[in-house]
Amino acid sequence: MIYHRREDLQRFATIITQKSYRLGYILTFIKESGTHLSDIDIVMGRGGLLHPLEGGVYAVSSDMLEDLDISRYGEHACNLGAGLAYELAQKASCRAFIADPVVVDEMIPEARISGMPEIERKSIFHALNQKIAAREIADKLSLPYEQTRMIVVHLGGGISIGAHRYGKVIDVNNALDGEGPFSPERSGGVPAGDLVRLTLSGSYSRETLQKKICGHGGMAAYMGTSDIKLIEQQARDGDEKSSFYLRAMLYQIAKEIGALATVLQGKVDAIVLTGGMTKSSSIVEELQKRVAYLAPIYVIPGEREMLSLAENGLAVYNGTREVREYVRV
C-alpha cells in the first residue's frame, strides 16, 4: 500500500495534476516487488466521477479520460484511477479497465424525484465495495446476487446505504453531496431552508460551504476530528459529547436502513454492514439493536475495493464478465 502525505499533495493545483507524481510511486512499487511489466495482463483502476452508468466493467477510453481530466462531472481523487490504469497499461502493453465506479446509477424512476423539478436525486455511492459485499453475502445465502433483496450499509469516512434488488441498487443516498446520515466527514442531509439561509448570509464562500457538506462536515464539524476510534475511546472514557454525537450518527444510520426496508416492501434477505467503522464491535452492536428485527445482519469488516477490482479483472481475463463501452453523453 502506498500512502501520500497531505502536505506532499498540496503543492498540486488540482487533483488530476497529481497523476505523474502518483504513477512514479506505482512504478517504483512494482519494480521493488519483483514484478515485470511484461507479466501484467490487465490493469484495473478506480472509477471516477463520470456520467451515470450501470454497474459493471468498463474499458478505459479516450472519452472517459477526457471527462475525468477536465473534471466534467466533479473533482475527486477517484478521478485519477482510470488515468493511472491507462498509463500503466500502456507501459505494460495490456488493457485497462474500471469497475463499478462511484456513479453507478440503477435507481428506479420514483427514487430520482427530489420534490423540486430543477433538482433530480443522484446516485453517487461506494458502489465498488457495496457490490462485492452484496455478492459475498449472496454466496452465503446460496443465491445468485441477481435473486436477492438486501440493504447494504457502507460505513467509512462517508456513509452510503443502498437497497439492492435483484442485482440492481434501486435506491441509495448520494454519499458525496449531502444526503443520508451524517458521517465522520460529511454533513449528510441538512434542513434545506436553513442551508439556503446560511448560503445567502454572505458569511461563507462557496468552497467553504462545499467543505461543510463534504470533508469538514459531520463528526469533523461537531467534534473537531473525523477519527471514529478516538471519538469512541473518548466516549468510553466518559466524555458525554463524544457519546452523544456517536449515538446520533448511529441513530441516523438506523433510520436510513429502516427507510430502505420500505423500498424493498419489507422483504429483505439480509442487512450487510461493511466499511471501516464495522471493525468496531460497539458500533455494530448498537446498529443490531435498532435494525435486527428487519432482517438477518451480516458484517464484512473493512473495505473490499481492491479485492473487488481484482475479482472483476480476473472475470474479464477469464471471459466471464462483459466489458462495457463508455459513451460520452
Whose CA is closest to 242, among 226, 259, 258, 255?
226
What pLDDT does 111 receive? 98
Do residues 131 and 214 share a domain? yes
Kindly report, residue by residue over 225-284, the tens digit of the pLDDT: 999 999 999 999 999 999 999 999 999 999 999 999 999 999 999 999 999 999 999 999
For residues 150 and 89, membership in a common domain is answered with no
Give the model's pLDDT for residue 236: 97
> How far is CA 133 from its chain centroid?
12
Euclidean distance between CA atoms 102 and 124, whole angstroms: 5
Q: Tell me the DSSP string of 22-82.
A: HHHHHHHHHHHTT--GGG--EEEEE--S-S-B-SSEEE--HHHHHHHHTTTT---GGGHHH
Asked if the structure places residue 119 within a domain, the reply is no
- Report, as an integer, the average pLDDT of 274-300: 97
| Higher pLDDT, residue 5 or 166 | 166
| 250 is a domain residue | yes
Task: Give residue 7's pLDDT.
Answer: 86
- The answer to whether residue 118 sits within a structural domain is no
Let me know: does 271 contact 307? Beta carbons within 8 Å.
no
Tell me the CA distances in angstroms from 182 to 52, 203, 273, 299, one per residue in order.
24, 23, 16, 21
Q: Is 12 in the same domain as 82?
A: yes
Which pLDDT belongs to residue 8? 87
Same domain, 132 and 271: yes
Cell numbers that stand for 264 in this block: 424493498
Q: Which domain holds residue 16?
A: 1-103+305-329
3-state secondary structure of 299: strand
Say if residue 2 is in the same domain as residue 60.
yes
Instruction: Answer yes or no: do 210 and 146 share one domain.
Output: yes
Same domain, 186 and 263: yes
**316 pLDDT higher than 90:** yes
> pLDDT > 70: what percent of the chain?
100
Query: In this structure, is residue 108 part of a structural domain?
Result: no
What are the tens digits of pLDDT across the range 148-173?
999 999 999 999 999 999 999 999 99
Is pLDDT at 76 greater than 80 in this prediction?
yes
DSSP, res 322: P
DSSP state of 145: G
Q: Write out the H or E segment, with its range, that includes residue 207.
A: helix 206-213
Sheet harboring 270-275: ordered strands across? 168-172, 159-165, 149-155, 270-275, 297-301
Same domain assignment for residues 75 and 146: no
C-alpha cell at 12: 498540486
Same domain, residue pair 58 and 95: yes
In this structure, the answer to whether residues 130 and 243 fall within a common structural domain is: yes
Task: Tell me the C-alpha distance between 153 and 253, whole Å.
Answer: 9
Residue 112 lies in a domain: no
Looking at per-residue confidence, does 282 or 6 come out higher? Answer: 282
Residues 40 and 163 in one domain: no
Q: What gap in Å lies between CA 236 and CA 243, rounded to an integer?
A: 8
β strands within the chain, DSSP E: 42-46, 57-59, 95-99, 149-155, 159-165, 168-172, 270-275, 297-301, 323-324
Predicted pLDDT at 3: 83
Indicate the number of domains in the chain. Answer: 2
297 has pLDDT over 90: yes
pLDDT at residue 1 is higher than 90:
no
**Assigned domain for 115 exists:** no
- Residue 151 domain-assigned (yes or no): yes
What one-character DSSP code corresponds to residue 214? Answer: B
> Which of residues 8 and 200 earns the better pLDDT score?
200
321 SS3 class: coil
Is residue 117 domain-resident?
no
pLDDT reported for residue 2:
83
Determine how β-strand 42-46 pairs with β-strand 297-301.
Answer: unpaired
Mean pLDDT of 52-58: 95
Q: Is 224 exposed, middle or buried (0-12, 13-18, 19+ CB in 10 A)?
A: exposed
User: Which pLDDT does position 326 carry in this prediction?
Assistant: 97
The CATH number linked to 314 is 3.30.420.40
Domain match, 249 and 318 both: no
**Angle at Cα 107 formed by Cα 295 and Cα 75, nearest 5°?**
110
Backbone angles phi, psi at 184, to 5 degrees: -55, -30
Other Cβ atoms within 10 Å of 241 Cβ, number? 12
